[in-house]
Amino acid sequence: MRRMKIVTQEEMRALEQRAVGAGVPMDTLMENAGLAVARWIAGHLGFLHTRRILVLVGPGNNGSDGLVAARHLSRLGAAVTCYICIGRPAEDPKRGIAVDHGVKFVEAREDPSFTKLRRLAGETHVVLDAILGIGRARAIIPPISDEIAAINEAAHASRPLFVALDLQSGLNADTGEFDPMGIQSSIVLTLGAPKLGLFLRPLVDPYSSVVVLDIGIPAGADNGLRVELISMHSAAALLPDRPLASNKGTYGRALVVGGSKNYVGAASLAARAAARAGAGIVTLAAPRSVAEIVAAGVAECTYVPLVESEPGAPDPEVAGRQIIQATERTSAMLIGPGLGQTPYIGPMLRRLMSGPLPEMPIVLDADGLNALSKMRDWWENLRRPGVITPHPGELARLLDTTVAEVQADRLGMARAAAARFGYVVILKGACTIVANPDGRARVSPFANPGLATGGTGDVLAGIVVGLLAQRMTPFDAATLAVYVHALAGHAARARFGEVAMTATDVLGELPDALRTLEVSKLSSV
């Protein structure tokens, strides 16, 4: 199965040059791009007769792609007008061919007050943004900024569908930085490969609003690129097999260490998620008073009630020994959900690190990460395959930096942490990033504000340990967990709305999300 690589501006241009070197002329790539854009718009609208389409044409290759798309849209029956925003010669051959196919043209230099542009924007059904694409390297200035302001003003009442060709004009292809004078299209038809900037500070949810169009770049041209987009098919391919002749032991034993007086729910969510992810046996090690509460509502788990130093807080030495004993038959362990930040957690973790612990993968989450961030070189004492699941604040503490610096370079920070600690890093947030210590990274296509609520991270951590228990590699387990969790979150948002949805709703959607992937895997065989 071919994996979809995410590219920077420089990498995209290198792909195009490799295509040219393989015998695919640049003009053919443009023709393929324009035709693919026209076909997608035609398919989305259902029919093009009586439809009016305004194509905003810029000076570079993005504008050339727009001219090709305009010609094909006109050929398919739409009434197409190209507005030449800046810098294209009248003798442009692509313009001449478009005219021959019935496309009308308006020049910005002949419309100084933007009267024609406002009228066109107010009457059109679709605005196709082909102004800048990946070519934006500096702030948008007049006349383009004035043209965009006029378009936005005129389109406010008529509300046409804004479609970006390759990238929204104003979006930096590498950093995701967006110029406030840019065009915020609701659909992005990105060409050849998805651009990194679409996922770092997403303007739209890539899962539902970014479409990757094939423009004829040969297979293998992207070999060597290290960042992948997690797709339905690539996630489904990672699902562990479930042989008919199997038993609980086939799917491993997951141990969840978590819970405290104030965070009973976190331990419950993580343990239930591990069970839903397919682990054969899930054991929750929690302070005795917490374990008793969770056990009353979660029948699928076994329990290790930890001796308490005070209600809801584990005794560091005794509880540490209990956990070590519990790991003797454990396939993977999760430490952190709801542990709290009492003075007892650090000593208990130090007791665990002093071992002996079996060579099994570990997931470190939430309060487990917070406690470790206070220990110098903690990763030296926990050298083993594993996954850490920080949000930006937790990663900032681990790297001794600021949240702003993490968010300014999410991919770079996640990769740096993975290389430093030797753990797979799941950097949570819009378009969650999964970074491997060897430099590879995978990016989720989901941006869902509804997941920004308490407990969803515990569900994610539980899925990870449940998959690790089934002997997946940490990188693949983290990848699959991120996608399944996000797909369940997408379904929860559709059912409950992004304001009202909760972590329990996400947990409830996990069976359908996993079933969707199972069907996808079977259909690809």
CATH number at residue 321: 3.40.1190.20
Q: Please give the average per-residue pLDDT across 214-224, as a whole number.
A: 95
User: Rounded to an integer, what distance in angstroms lies between the CA atom of residue 322 and that of residue 305?
Assistant: 9
Q: Is the pLDDT of residue 515 over 70?
A: yes
Write down the pTM of the prediction: 0.95
Question: Is there a domain that residue 193 lies in?
Answer: yes
Across residues 508-521, what is the average pLDDT? 98
What is the distance between the alpha carbons of residues 489 and 429, in angstroms, rounded to a whole number?
Answer: 13
Separation CA 288–CA 83 (nearest Å): 70
Question: Is position 1 within any domain?
Answer: no
Does residue 435 form part of some domain? yes
pLDDT, average across residues 455-476: 99
Cα gap 414→427, rounded to integer Å = 6
Q: What digits encode the pLDDT tens for the residues 259-278?
A: 999 999 999 999 999 999 99
Angstrom distance (rounded) from CA 122 to CA 125: 9
Q: In this structure, are 260 and 158 located in the same domain?
A: no
**Residues 6 or more apart from 323 whose CB is under 8 A from it?**
255, 257, 285, 304, 306, 348, 352
Tell whether 256 and 217 lie within a shared domain.
no
Same domain, 136 and 277: no
Cα 496 to chain centroid, rounded: 21
Percent of the chain topping pLDDT 90: 90
pLDDT, residue 337, reads: 97
Q: Is residue 213 domain-shared with residue 256, that is, in the same domain?
A: no
Strand-pair partners of 442? 228, 434
Amino acid identity, position 466: G
Q: How many CB atoms lie within 10 A of CB 475?
A: 21
State how far the Cα of 143 lies from the Cα of 131, in Å rounded to an integer.
12
State whether 207 and 263 are in the same domain: no
What is the structure's pLDDT at 360? 95
* 220 shares its domain with 261: no
Domain extent, residue 196, equals 9-225
Token pair recorded at residue 74: 């006109």
Q: Which residue has the tokens 């839903």?
A: 276
Residue 230 within a domain: no
Tell whether 84 is covered by a domain: yes
pLDDT value for 137: 65
Distance, CA of 456 to CA of 458 (rounded, Å): 5
Nearest to 252 by CA among 354, 358, 349: 358
What share of the chain has pLDDT > 70, as a percent?
A: 99
Closest CA to 15 of 172, 171, 190: 190
Burial class (CB in 10 A: 0-12, 13-18, 19+), 82: buried
Q: Which residues contact 58 (CB under 8 A, 6 or more apart)?
A: 66, 85, 86, 87, 130, 131, 132, 133, 135, 144, 169
| The predicted structure's pLDDT at residue 2 | 63
Alpha helical stretches, state H, 341-409: 345-353, 366-372, 378-381, 392-399, 403-408
Helix (H, G, I), strand (E, B) or coil at 364: strand
8 Å CB contact between 449 and 208? no
430: which 2 tokens?
């819009």
Question: Is pLDDT of 55 > 60?
Answer: yes
Q: Are residues 260 and 329 in the same domain?
A: yes
For residue range 342-364, what is the model confidence (pLDDT) as tens digits? Answer: 888 999 998 888 888 899 999 99
196 and 289 part of one domain: no
DSSP H helical segments within 327-360, as ranges?
A: 345-353
* Domains of the chain: total: 2
Region 333-339: mean pLDDT is 97
- Co-location of 326 and 411 in the same domain: yes
Same domain, yes or no: 166 and 283: no
Q: Which of 240, 196, 165 is nearest to 476 (CA)?
A: 240
User: In CATH, what number is assigned to the domain containing residue 62?
Assistant: 3.40.50.10260
Which residue is associated with the tokens 């800046």? 86
In a domain, 238, yes or no: no
Q: Encode pLDDT of 374-424 as tens digits.
A: 998 999 988 899 999 999 999 999 999 999 999 999 999 999 999 999 999
Given a cut of 90, whether residue 524 has pLDDT beyond it is no
Per the DSSP assignment, residues forming a β-bridge with 333 are 255, 362
Query: How many Å apart are CA 296 and CA 217, to the nearest integer?
Result: 57
- Is the per-residue pLDDT at 504 higher than 80? yes
User: Are 204 and 304 in a shared domain?
Assistant: no
Dihedral pair phi/psi, residue 504, rounded to 5°:
-65, -35
204 and 281 together in one domain? no
